[in-house]
Chain A
Amino acid sequence: MTPREMFRERRRRRDLYMEKTVLEVKDLTKTYQSGERTLTVLDRVSLSLTQGSCCAVVGPSGSGKTTLLGLCAGLDRPTSGSVVLNGVSLNELDEDQMARVRSESVGFVFQTFQLIPTLTALENVVVPIELRAETHVKSRAIELLNQVGLGDRLDHYPAQLSGGEQQRVSLARAFINHPRILFADEPTGNLDAETSDRVTDLLFELNDAAATTLVLVTHDLELARRTQRVIELKGGMIHSDQNLQYPSRDLAL
């Protein structure tokens, strides 16, 4: 199956499950003990996302965006409340079971790219599928790297790539395991405007082709507006939850 056929197959499945809930968050609360004081970073947040939907989480620094993302992706445990990811309740899993869930259905894009400095671009991209002990993984990775325009930089180490190039490698890595849901934490926060546009286009392009649910944490309202839904956090609570009138072009299939 060529990548194109694969993506087509994915789209078909997306249509089938269009209304299926991928992420269900209920009364999610996270507090930290700081000396005598209890800091409430997230306060009874509830939301749900359906398959293939695309949502942005915005809000000022310290409003709890990244904490919410971490909890949704099973990187941390809530103080109270629950997260059901892809039908699996994360509360009941141990660390390694959560890791398996991530390996099977979650993709990440980080603000600081987070490529492994000791691996080449190609090796960075194959890590998620190699972790699942899949073989013949290289051709898919090369295809994806070609798609993000880095087909000639396969053997370069992160230190030899520019910021934009690193983020493109990280996009290829995020999509290689066909994630159900992709978490992107300020994906353009460390990039200049021009590079930023290119990376954003690529992100939406790949996301669309793979029919992945996208959770985008950002400060950038322009970027947020390219999604269907914008959730605004303030002081750890949902301040507003808007369904945008003009959803992104790519999603109006």
Chain B
Amino acid sequence: MKFSLLNGWVWKMAWRESRTTGKRLFLFVSSIILGVAALVAINSFGHNLERAVDEQAKSLLGADLVVTIREPFSEETEELFRSWGGDQSREVRMASMVYFPASDGMRLVEIRALEGDFPYYGELVTSPPEAAERFRQGPYALVDDRMMLQFDVEVGDSVKIGAFLFTVAGKLQRIPGETMTETLIAPRVYIPLSYLSQTELVQFGSRVSYRNAFRWGTSTNVDQLLEDARPHLDEQRLRTITVEDRKRRLGRSMENLYRFMSLVGFIALVLGGIGVASAIHIHIRQRLNTVAVLRCLGASSQQASMIYVIQAAVMSLVGGAAGALLGIGVQNLMPPVLKNFLPVVISFEVSWGAVWQGLGMGLGFGLLFALLPLLTVRRISPLVALRFTYQKENPLPRDPLRWLVYGLIALAICLFSLSRTQSWTQGLAFAGGTMVAFLFLLAVANLITALIRRFFPDSWSYVWRQGLANLHRPNNQTTVVMLALGLGTFLITTLFLVQGTLLNAVSLAGSGDRPDMVLFDIQSDQREEILQIVRSMDLPVQQDVPIVTMRLASINGRTVQEISEDPDHRRRDWALFREYRSTYRDRLIDSEELMAGEWHGSVNGPSGEVQISLEKSIAEDLGVAPGDQLVFDVQGMPIETTIGSLRQVDWERMQTNFFVVFPVGVLEEAPQFHVLMTQVGSAEASAQLQRTVVQRFPNVSTIDMALVMETVDAVLDNVTFVIRTMALFSIITGLVVLVGAVISSRYQRIRESVLLRTLGASRQQIRKIMAIEYLFLGFFSALTGLILAVGASWALAFFLFDTVFVMEIQPVVLVLCVVVGFTMLIGALSSRGLTSRPPLESLRAEV
């Protein structure tokens, strides 16, 4: 190899050979451009993102340190905070309803009552800009921009939060460190902390979190400070968030997004590789004779092969460079596509690392895929120059090197996905999935061509038969086109189907006689009146559930603190320390199923054992089984319990579901609040109920099924937009490969059409034959992709989302029509001119 590479003649021939085949080699180049562009764009964007996160790290948190807790800070904690000094801000966060009198609309939001100058780094972006400061000075609120639009609210209008009427000081457009997608789920509303008490929102059972933000500048070592205060922080269960914590968490989520995108971009590159293999295959087919003549004239097989290896390498480099350039351009499109997911502002900068990487990937993959067809060059016999039929008499034996190249390609795919996912299981799963999808498409493509040959419709008219027969003519491109288009179709359709299935799962949960509205945070003394309101509106009370908040104190005699500090413990800390919101009742409900132990509905006698029921997965996280002893701290009072049973819970139902269910007869007197479920049916009834309840009891919040649907839809829309944009790279690469395939087989088509025209076929008949061929090609590709998509969506629904797969016909038909339409259009455009020129002219011109 080395020898041949150093041979000037080989380079000279590679150059001379490529001069007149520019068009075909251009297709080679364009096959890998998009894949490389996608990767360079994503990697470069990734680097810029990393840089932005680094530069804006402090504004992600808005402070040097934030301390949070679920209950008001204790006196000792306040004392600690005072000793820490620096600038401090206090914030209280909770979910609540807001009501806009002007438009009579209401919605569940996250209220943030703020005191102090937070954020210290970064800023609340508002319209008008001065509103970010102004709202702190009076009964003003900053309201989420999109929500204002939705409810037709203007700056200056009033908004009722709890029992108090605020004036909207401005639109809240951006909160440092938070993404638009986060705010979709619960729009934010800022008010001054001094007005919180007037809202009367904070009541028993309200889920409130208290936050204290600090700024010291560079003078204080935050880690040291936390280290010193660790015993107190742990004892009080105070959670601390430093800039580093925030960065790490954000880095992780950004990294997932970025890894996922680069994997999708990678699929485009692999598809491009297939395009390269196909372009080189055709190129070599037409060079059989040249190679044979060169061999006759004394070229060694190595020299002959090297000519084409050099061409492939140079083309791969050119493709890689063009892809890298395009990628840099495309990178500009990423921030708008991802803006809803980004908590930082990203500035544009060329990442040379990404460019080099793109060049390397282009060269590596281009060459690797080109090697497959290039291997045959070594075996072309010089006898071909004497007799072109030679190959048929003496078929080429199987080439062991071919398996080596297949192995290298598989290895490259595995290495790439491993380097991206940085996890053995995920990386191999992705690589395996990609290869399975490819093999499946390959198998279906071969099956379809075999079936056509086997069950050829002899009774069809000539034009149709010829169009169909073209799919399995020698040197056909059926497999390549089906792979390229099929994979694109597969990706896009899977997205449609999964989205449909998820939405359906959410809407199913609220259909039939199931509840579609939840009223929560109802205080015990409010319960009777609310029940009356619901009944007076002729609405059913489907569930009326008491909730008692508690914490786990010990398991089998060991305190949760001890367990957590034990280095050998296998239990999850979150399960040990979380706040449990439990209920009590005497029977299972229809979303629950008993998995182990025995259900105890009540406590026998005042000194009887309290047999509780645990949800299966939390029992696993706690590492407990029926018979184990748990002690719960219920508002300061220890309650000893024994695990009586484990339940499986269908969390998707619109119901109140609980990790821990107590029997009746223990918690009745404990401080508690209530959740009530009803079915309102219509939007009017829903609005009326919400209005009545919220105006009478401002602390009570409601969740409407319609709102949940809307939110899920909006979040899915955001996610799928990103995925679709990435899938677009695959689709466009698929189309480029299709154009390549069509143009590569152009010479063969010309011969055919010349022959047919000589034999008396009209131009229209020839055009029809081609249209029919593309019709079938598009149809079969789309069909294969769709079959794969339905299978994958079903598997995702069944295994990952644990829901019923819904086959939506509309997107499937739409995708089918679009793919077939595009295939026919591209076929028609690239075969243009074949039928209009005189036969001889076409033959001479294209040789």
Binding site for B on A (CB under 8 A): 32, 34, 66, 69-70, 73, 75-76, 95-96, 99-104, 106, 108, 110, 114-119, 123, 127-128, 130-133, 157, 159, 173, 177, 185
Contact = CB atoms under 8 A, between A and B. Distances in A.
Nearest to B379: A95
B291 to A, nearest CB: 9
A104 B844 CA distance: 35
A99 B297 CA distance: 8
**Which of B12, B21, B300 neighbours the largest number of chain A CB atoms within 10 Å of its CB?**
B300
12 contacts: A69-B386, A75-B295, A99-B301, A102-B296, A102-B298, A102-B382, A106-B298, A116-B290, A116-B293, A116-B294, A127-B294, A130-B12
B832 interface: no
State the 5 A-B residue pairs at the shortest beta-carbon distance, nearest first.
Answer: A103-B298, A96-B300, A102-B298, A75-B382, A114-B293
Nearest to B301: A95
B298 A118 contact: no
B847 interface: yes
A40 B7 CA distance: 41
B383 interface: yes
**Which of B17, B20, B296, B387 neighbours the largest number of chain A CB atoms within 10 Å of its CB?**
B296
Contacts of B295: 75, 99
Given A110-B385, A118-B17, A177-B298, 15 more contacts: A34-B393, A76-B381, A101-B298, A102-B296, A103-B297, A103-B299, A114-B293, A115-B293, A116-B17, A118-B18, A118-B290, A130-B12, A159-B844, A173-B297, A185-B386
**Which of B295, B297, B303, B383 neighbours the largest number of chain A CB atoms within 10 Å of its CB?**
B297
Contacts of B449: none
Nearest to B7: A133
B366 to A, nearest CB: 21
Interface in B400-433: none
B613 interface: no
Contacts of B21: 118
Given A75-B296, A95-B301, A108-B296, A133 B381 contact: no
Contacts of B383: 70, 75-76
B570 interface: no
B569 interface: no
A130 B504 CA distance: 71
**Which of B17, B381, B386, B387 neighbours the largest number of chain A CB atoms within 10 Å of its CB?**
B386
B43 to A, nearest CB: 37
**Which of B8, B383, B844 neighbours the largest number of chain A CB atoms within 10 Å of its CB?**
B383
A50 B157 CA distance: 112
B16 A119 contact: yes
B645 interface: no
B394 A99 contact: no
B9 interface: yes
A127 B301 contact: no
A131 B303 contact: yes
A75 B844 contact: no
Given A70-B386, A117-B290, A118-B20, A102 B297 contact: yes
A131 B16 contact: no
Interface in B346-367: none
Contacts of B299: 99, 103, 131
A99 B382 CA distance: 9
B711 interface: no
Nearest to B303: A131
B302 interface: yes
Contacts of A34: 393
B110 to A, nearest CB: 69
B393 A117 contact: no
A123 B386 CA distance: 21
A133 B8 contact: yes
Given A75-B382, A110-B386, A159-B847, A131 B20 contact: no
A102 B381 CA distance: 14
A127 B12 CA distance: 10
A110 B9 CA distance: 23
A99 B300 contact: yes
A108 B303 CA distance: 19
Contacts of A102: 296-298, 382
Contacts of A101: 298
B784 interface: no
B307 to A, nearest CB: 11
B44 interface: no
B479 interface: no
Nearest to A108: B296
B289 interface: yes
A117 B381 CA distance: 19
B19 interface: yes
A128 B298 contact: yes
A95 B387 CA distance: 18
A119 B293 CA distance: 13
Nearest to B12: A130
A123 B20 CA distance: 14
A73 B381 CA distance: 13
Contact of A100 (B20, B294, B300, B385): B300
Contacts of A96: 300-302
Contacts of A157: 20
Contacts of B381: 75-76
Contact of A131 (B297, B302, B847): B297
B390 to A, nearest CB: 9
Nearest to A100: B298
A138 to B, nearest CB: 12
A121 B385 CA distance: 18
A34 B9 CA distance: 40
**Which of B18, B298, B301 neighbours the largest number of chain A CB atoms within 10 Å of its CB?**
B298
Given A75-B383, A157-B20, A32 B298 contact: no
A110 B18 CA distance: 24
A114 B287 CA distance: 12
B430 to A, nearest CB: 41
Nearest to B845: A159
Nearest to B289: A114
A116 B218 CA distance: 74
Contacts of A119: 16-17
Interface string B1-29: 00000011100110011111100000000
